[in-house]
Amino acid sequence: MSEDTIHLGVRLKEATAQRGILSTELARALGVNSQQIYRWHNQSDMLLSSLTEICSVLDMNLDEFVYG
C-alpha cells in the first residue's frame, strides 16, 4: 500500500474506537446488520453514501474521517 492510499476500513475501526462506539451500536444507528460493519472493516473503499451516513452517526465530517 502506498503512502497516499487510505484504507477506509481501518479508518472506520480507528474512528469508532476513538469514540467508544461498538460495531453493534454503529450497525443499529445505521440500520444495517453487524455483518455489514465487519465487511466495511475489511474494505479499502466504500460508497460515498455509506461514508456520509457513517460520518453523520460518528459526528465527523468527511475530511476528519478520511484523514484523521
Mean pLDDT is lowest, of 1-5, 20-24, 27-31, for 1-5
**Greatest extent of the chain over all pairs of C-alpha atoms, in Å:** 34
| CATH (domain of 30) | 1.10.260.40
DSSP type of residue 47: -
| 13 in a structural domain | yes
Residue 1 lies in a domain: no
Cα separation, 50 vs 40, in Å, equals 10
Residue 6: which pLDDT band, with cuts at 50, 70 and 90? Answer: confident
* Mean predicted confidence (pLDDT) in 11-35: 96
Model pTM? 0.85
Does 1 score more than 50 pLDDT? Answer: no
Residue 41 lies in a domain: yes
CB 38 within 8 A of CB 27: no
Structural domain for 13, as ranges = 8-67
In a domain? residue 14: yes
Q: What do you get for the CA distance between the two ends of the chain, in Å?
A: 18
Residue 2 domain flag? no
Domain count along the chain: 1
